[in-house]
Amino acid sequence: MAIIAVLGGTGYAGRHIVTEAVDRGHTVLSVARSVAAERVAGATYIEGTLLDVPGLVEQLVGVDVVVSAIAPRGTMEGFVRPNLEALNSVLPESVRLGVVGGAGGSLVAPGGPRVIDSGFPEEFQAEALEMIGVLDDLQSGEGDRDWFFIHPAGGFGGFNPGTRTGTYRDGGDVLVTDADGQSFISGEDFAIAVLDEIEQPKHSRGRFTVGY
């Protein structure tokens, strides 16, 4: 079993990842700026922020995997990319880094174009571009750290929670859609995909998309 830290562990994606990791028997640290009133039994909750990388690193001593589920929106807009890059530069290289991205950077079809370049809603473009920048930093980074970057389906989020099916499809670089062209995955099944990648890595230093 691994020691897994989830940054943004009280958010939509983060809390589902925390729950799935605890259910699988891992030691789980849920890290957020404030501790949630409702907690996942079996997880350890820590107050910490990506905006204080030195302080955050001190709280992550001994972890095997760090998963960032922090979106660059609201007060975090413009701060996720530089601070994840800073965190990546100081974590021990033995720590695997996972990043929950958005759908915007995935491809519409093999070879492109990207979803963000295909009628993407303007109000979400800044967030999508920042996470694309995070992926660019990981892909161009030097060193031996292993990492993965996961793009959820287009309809992923608390506005459309869905239910657990225990299944998902891996689309590689391409946005996963169903027979009707819809792109969706529930919070629970997204977390299954994240934990499957942690336990049985298939995308070492790479990205992938998930959906139904």
DSSP assignment of 62-125:
T-SEEEE---S-GGGTTTHHHHHHHHHHHS-TTSEEEEE--GGGSBSSTT--BGGGTT--GGGH
Confidence label for 96 from pLDDT (cuts 50, 70 and 90): very high
Mean pLDDT of the chain: 96
Number of domains in the chain: 1
Strand partners, 148: 98, 206
What integer is the mean pLDDT of 107-123? 92
The rounded distance, in Å, linking the Cα atoms of 199 and 196 is 5
**Structure pTM?**
0.97
- pLDDT for 115 equals 96
Confidence label for 36 from pLDDT (cuts 50, 70 and 90): confident
Which residues lie closer than 8 Å to 87 by C-beta, 6 or more apart?
50, 53, 56, 57, 66, 68, 97
Rg value, the chain, Cα: 16
Provide the residue type at 57 as one letter: V
Q: Is the pLDDT of residue 35 over 90?
A: no
- pLDDT for 197 equals 98
- pLDDT for 41 equals 97
- pLDDT for 1 equals 95
Residue 5 structure tokens: 């830290």
The rounded distance, in Å, linking the Cα atoms of 174 and 145 is 25
Full residue range of the structural domain in which residue 65 is found: 3-211
Q: Is the pLDDT of residue 109 over 90?
A: yes
- pLDDT for 82 equals 98
What integer is the mean pLDDT of 129-147? 96
Q: Cα-flanking dihedrals φ and ψ of residue 206, to 5°?
A: -150, 175
CATH number assigned to the domain comprising residue 21: 3.40.50.720
- pLDDT for 59 equals 96
- pLDDT for 143 equals 87
Give percent above pLDDT 70 in the chain. Answer: 100
Give residue 10's Cα distance to chain centre.
13
